[in-house]
Amino acid sequence: PSGTYPTNVDGSTPNPLFKRLPEDFPEIQYSFPEAGNQEYRGVFSANEKTIRGQYQFIGEGFFNVFPVTFLQGNKQAFPTDKNDVAISESMAKTFFGTPENAIGELIELKGGYYPGSYLVKGVFEPNPQNSDPNDVLMNYEVFATDEMMEWYNSGTQPHLVLKEGVDLAAFNKKLSDYLTTLSPNWKD
């Protein structure tokens, strides 16, 4: 019928929301972004080898919540620079022979939305419990261009770490109509 809109649930929110939530909700200890979906695929190359891979963008705080084992590199210091990446153990072996050899090397992303050269600062062991496995972890700052951080753009899944003792049901109730306080026309 006229006037209806299709809806879906994917966890994606307006991109700047993860920054705004802690400002408006004192229950939040901290918030961090993650952006990744099936569209974030590309062709990676290094050492005259090429493979297809999937990537996701992670922000500071990701490793405090999601278990990722680094075989090489410093997980607590990752990412330091905008173009730092961590790659899977299998990608490290394919391109550089061993995880140790991958650190400090460049990989090239061709195609996809974010082509360019990226510096390998970590090698991780894929988590078998991850429902959305990735070959490359990229700095969220690559994703967070000025245009992407406008309220009309989405793709970020904000993750919230609440302060100890927060009543989750009460917090969820406060959160339920929050977007309409930012824009009264928000209907999605």
Tens of pLDDT, residue by residue over 104-148, are: 999 999 977 899 999 999 999 987 766 667 899 999 999 999 999
Residue 178: per-residue pLDDT: 85
Residue 1: per-residue pLDDT: 47
Nearest alpha-carbon partner for 40 in 147, 159, 144, 138? 138
Percent of the chain with pLDDT over 70: 88
**pLDDT, tens only, 41-59:** 889 999 999 999 999 999 9
Any idea of the CA torsion for 188, 162, 148, 3, to the nearest 10 degrees? Answer: 0
- Asked if 85 contacts 92 with a C-beta cutoff of 8 angstroms, the reply is no
Residue 186: per-residue pLDDT: 59
pLDDT value at 3 more than 60: no
pLDDT value at 6 more than 80: no
The pTM score is 0.87
Average pLDDT for the chain: 88
Residue 179: per-residue pLDDT: 77
Q: What is the band of 90 on the pLDDT scale with cuts at 50, 70, 90?
A: very high
Phi, psi of 89 (to 5 degrees): -60, -40
**pLDDT, tens only, 137-175:** 999 999 999 999 998 888 899 999 999 999 999 999 998
Higher pLDDT among residues 182 and 108, named by residue = 108
- Asked if 137 contacts 64 with a C-beta cutoff of 8 angstroms, the reply is no
